[in-house]
Amino acid sequence: MRKKIIAGNWKMNKTLEEGMGLVSEVSNMLKDEYTGSAEVVIIPPFTHINSISKLIAENPRLKSGAQNCSNHKSGAYTGEVSADMLKSCGATYVIIGHSERRQYFNEHNDWLAKKVDAVLLAGLNPIYCCGETLEEREINTHFNVLHTQIREGLFHLSASDMKKVVIAYEPVWAIGTGKTASTEQAQEIHAFIRSLIAEKYDADIAQSITIQYGGSVKADNAAELFRSPDIDGALVGGAALQSRSFVDIVKAMA
């Protein structure tokens, strides 16, 4: 059975105090209200990871992660944070290639491939994001765009490393816009991504990889998305900033 993962990407939101309060609420609500199988990942800004990891250490369902990391192991790279540092703060996952990093920080696939390597080298799990823009979908190039993102970012990996990767399909036009891909649109892409992995590696690896959907996931659309056979969880932005809306999304996963 594939692992189901609901991750909350806080982006650049919440002070440390606000973040600690939110995580305590989420942790307590999950203990009281959720008996399902999903792993829940809190992805705060770098500055909060250490404190939050300690806070959730008692709750085995909860893990923490980072929103980015350096492609270098260490050295003179002012302002950067390495995967080893994230590991030492308790992180388990690192988001690589979020569309905001691709768009605002010019992160391209070849660069992201190196970040994926750095995350794996530290013994952490990348959450590799891919997704097309509205324009790319409208001119019907989305399958090609996704294929290129997956091939250039991930397909240099050995089979054993590939098994450690989580993929998040996040259509750029659905992020923070209130527009969600329809369940059919999302399922179609998730099945396509899985077929690419089967072709490059094998069917067992393709079947074992968690593929999350992201883009305006809310409590009222999560259950339908999660019923699709190839959607194994969600990468949640806005709705992860409040305990009630985030926990309700988790509860939509059986």
Phi then psi for 45, rounded to 5 degrees? -60, 155
Contact 86, 122 (CB under 8 A): yes
- For 127-144, b where at least 16 C-beta lie within 10 A, e where not — what string? bbbbbbbeebbeeeebee
Among 237, 248, 250, 251, binds ligand PGA (CB under 6 A): 237
Element (DSSP H or E) covering residue 157? none
Pairing state between β 5-9 and 211-214: unpaired
**Taking CB under 6 A as the criterion, which residues in 5-34 touch ligand PGA?**
9
C-beta closer to ligand PGA: residue 201 or 214: 214
Q: Which helix (H) or strand (E) holds 80?
A: none
Identify the sign of the CA torsion 46, 7, 172, 193. Answer: positive
| Region binding ligand PGA by CB under 6 A among candidate stretches 44-52, 156-164, 219-227, 236-244 | 236-244
CB of 161 to ligand PGA, least distance (A): 23
> Min. distance of Cβ 21 from ligand PGA in angstroms?
20
Q: Which residue is nearest to ligand PGA (CB)?
A: 237
Contact mark string toward ligand PGA, 205..224, x via CB under 6 A: ---------xxxx-------
Using CB under 6 A, pick the residue from 236, 247, 249, 250 that binds ligand PGA: 236
Among 120, 122, 235, 249, binds ligand PGA (CB under 6 A): 235
In the bound state with ligand PGA, the residue whose beta carbon lies nearer, of 206 and 240, is 240
- Report how many residues bind ligand PGA under the rule CB under 6 A: 13
Task: Return the beta strands (E) in 25-92 as ranges.
Answer: 39-43, 62-66
The length of the chain in residues reads 254
Active site amino acids: 98, 170
> Binding of ligand PGA at residue 97 (CB under 6 A)?
no
| 124 versus 175: smaller Cβ distance to ligand PGA | 175
238 part of the interface to ligand PGA, by CB under 6 A: yes
Nearer to ligand PGA, 85 or 175 (CB): 175
Rounded to whole angstroms, how far apart are CA atoms 64 and 54?
A: 10
| Best CA proximity match to 94, nearest among 72, 53, 64 | 64
User: The tokens of 137 are what?
Assistant: 């979908």
3-class DSSP assignment, residue 17: helix
Which range touches ligand PGA (CB under 6 A), out of 50-58, 77-85, 169-177, 205-213? 169-177
Minimal distance, residue 180 CB to ligand PGA, in Å: 8
* Structure tokens given for 85: 């540092």
Binding site for ligand PGA (CB under 6 A): 9, 170, 175-176, 214-217, 235-239
